[in-house]
Amino acid sequence: MKKPNIVFIMADQMTAYALSAYGNKVTKTPNLDRLAAEGTVFENAYCPYPLCAPSRFALMAGRLPSRIGAYDNAAEFPAAVPTFAHYLRDAGYYTCLSGKMHFVGPDQHHGFEDRLTTEIYPADFSWTPLTYDEVDDPEEPTTHVKTQGVSSVETVADASAVARSLQIDYDDEVARRAVQQIYDWRRYGDGRPLFMTVSFTQPHDPYVSTPEFWDLYKDEDIDAPRVAKIPLEQMDPHSRGLFFHYGLDKFNVTEDVYRRARHGYYAMISYIDKRVGEIRAALEATGMAKDTILMFTSDHGDMVGERGLWFKKNLFNPALSVPLLYFDPRKQGLNRVKAPVSLVDVLPTLVDIATGSEDAIVTPFEGSSLLPLMCEDEPERVVLAEHLDGGTKAPRVMVRKGDYKLVYSKAYPPQLYNLADDPGERLNLAENPDYRAVFEELKRILSKTWDLGHLRDEVVASQRTRQFLLRALQKGKVMDWETYPNAIREHTKFVRRGEYFPEVEQRSYLRLPDSD
């Protein structure tokens, strides 16, 4: 049986709650709505870590971030860790990446044969965070400390329409390269099926967009937060620490500022939606759409003002919940799946698609294929997540089973929520005796997964080592690990010396699908 092409599309920092497929009534996303209607919507999809690089490494490896040393945004992704790109390449696919993966370290491909763009963020150790011992005590915080790689309230305050931004420049290139690669592979490919990852940087803050997308919304139409702003003195200890970590003490995020920032966030999502439509249009124009599986997700969510918090680095659902849409034009599964799932399930799912089972996976993995869930739902399924980097005094972990979710750390009080009755996570049941059995069951799962004391030591040792390496590598001749694609691939070259131009022109024709 012919293997399908696979196009895996990612956004950055897009919470599931911002899409109409997940109940949002404001955002305008016709292309994602179409994808959701035609395919499968995973209603309870989680990232394994609410931060860019660790979540992406876990996504590609099918492993919890701590299992591969992905402790923060400056942790090296080891070249010896197999990724879904390696597995699909081994299964006979051509593998390429257009856009962001936030790889850290000298290996900037991790199984992809071609990278069509450079990275948007540094590939070295410069974003290594403070160790736990260097973080302010969240019970007695001082003020925000400007740190490389850490969002700040300025990116909320700046929300507005703009002519251009760094992220728009980057994502325009990501989309352009991806669309061109679809046409080029159809014309000049070597016969292998295509596996292409297209990874955008929006709607990551700052919340700015061009008038084309900004003008789709009005401030007065922006929805209120599901959970209203919680006064600082009533926040849980970790949330209080994050309040200062992100500099929210420096600027009063009024109701008007909140609406303007979420306005910008929605505008950026509409930008991504348009690019998804362009990718699908290219697949349809080339005749590849009928044989191409599409997946859409994000690396993590964004609080976007929920509870008075912004960005990520916490284990509340707006930061953990990601969209996960799956469409196979060759067959239809369940339209909506309630089972809790994780981005670590993506690798075994892709291997299952490419090989027919998970047997090809050569290292331990925490996820499992999503394909069976599209035939038979499993609402009591277990998912896990971690938060280990700057902004916390110790590792924080999460386990969800069915409707119940436990957040646990040695530095903070435990938090237990019944998501069926309390989707906004307002009522902490950890001390409620009626829920003692649930608490203990989830804690047993947690204890089998993590040794939190040992994990703390591992994180600190890694960060101290990388702080030293960064200092040493900045002395003398400085070498970087950034990667840049070839300007023009060999198979797309234009007319050159000694060539008969009509023949070159003819080689570049891509006939309409119905004329092949």
Which residues are catalytic, by number? 52, 102
Strands 336-342 and 40-46: parallel
Starting at the edge strand found earlier in the chain, the sheet holding 415-418 runs: 382-387, 396-401, 404-409, 415-418
Number of Cβ atoms within 10 Å of the Cβ of 383: 24
Dihedral, CA of residue 409, residue 415, residue 420 and residue 421, to nearest 10: 180
The Cα–Cα gap between 206 and 201 comes to 11
The Cα–Cα gap between 65 and 63 comes to 6
The Cα–Cα gap between 276 and 14 comes to 14
Q: Is 423 buried (19+), middle (13-18) or exposed (0-12) by CB count in 10 A?
A: middle
Strands (E), 140-199: 160-161, 194-199
The Cα–Cα gap between 62 and 42 comes to 18
What is the SS3 assignment for 394-425?
Answer: CCEEEEEECCEEEEEECCCCCEEEECCCCCCC
The Cα–Cα gap between 201 and 14 comes to 10
**Residue 297 amino acid letter:** T
Half-sphere exposure for 265 (CA within 13 Å, toward CB): 29
CA angle 307, 65, 47 (to 5 degrees): 40
Rg of the chain over all Cα atoms, to the nearest angstrom: 23
